[in-house]
Amino acid sequence: MTSSHRRGPRTADVSSAVESAAEVLTALWDRTQQTSRTRVSPSQMQALAIVERHGQINLNGLAAELDAIPSSASRLCDRLQAAGLLTRAASVHNRREVMLALTRDGRALLAEIGRNRHQALARILADMSPDGREALLTGLSEFNDAVRSAGADEPWEQHA
């Protein structure tokens, strides 16, 4: 263990503070999502974000990323399609494969929610001192690096 890991707050204290901040951030995310013109559930929002990240994804790929069974993902997509946020089409490579893509309204909804989140975060960050914002940025950057360095393993899984 390096000396930089021995000094400073105890890991348990930092874990508690991060957990508390994550709960507040999750509530903020939920509130900003509910301010949009089109209401979607958290699972629908997650599905839209996954489709956006991929551009197009097949139903089985979406189900895998949602950690859901394909029939549940299909019902979720039924609701998103009925709301005009998602399209389904047969793959050009395999007609039995269903490909999912966002509609213009789906992209607009994600952009609107993203703007709402950005504005809400900016208001909160403006209340912090410049030193506090700098420390937060440094800490979050190190946190992201630590998560990435975990590689293929999920950092929340216990290792033998």
Which 3 state secondary structure label does DSSP give 94? coil
Give CA 135 to chain center in angstroms. Answer: 23
> Which has the closest alpha carbon to 32: 22, 20, 47, 42?
42
CATH number of 23-149: 1.10.10.10
Domain ranges of the chain: 23-149
Question: What is the average pLDDT score of the chain?
Answer: 87
| pLDDT tens, N- to C-terminus, the chain (160 residues) | 444 455 777 888 888 888 998 898 888 888 887 777 778 888 999 999 999 999 999 999 999 999 999 999 999 999 999 999 999 998 788 878 889 999 999 999 999 999 999 999 999 999 999 999 999 999 999 988 888 888 755 555 554 4
How many whole angstroms separate alpha carbon 25 and alpha carbon 160? 32
How many whole angstroms separate alpha carbon 132 and alpha carbon 135? 5
CB atoms within 10 A of CB 55: 8
3-state class percentages of the chain: helix first, strand second, coil last, to nearest 5: 65, 10, 25
pTM score = 0.77
Which pairs with CB-CB distance under 8 Å and at least 24 residues apart come from 139-143? 143/18
> Which has the closest alpha carbon to 58: 33, 88, 31, 86?
88
